[in-house]
Structure 1
Amino acid sequence: MTADQGALVELSWALPANARRYPVVLQRSPVAKGEQPITALGQGATTTRVAGLDPGAGYCFLVGVPLRISEQTTVAWSKPACIRGAKARRQ
Structure 2
Amino acid sequence: MEQVYTLKEAAQLLRKAENWLKVNARKNDWGSKLGRTRLFTETHLAEILASGTSQAAHPRKPRPIKAKTPKVVMPNPVAGASVTPLRARPEAARSYGRTA
Normalising by the residue count of structure 2, what TM-score does the alignment of the two structures yield? Answer: 0.19
Greater relative contact order, per chain length (Cα 8 Å cut-off, separation 6+): 1
Normalising by the residue count of structure 1, what TM-score does the alignment of the two structures yield? Answer: 0.20
Richer in helix (by share): 2
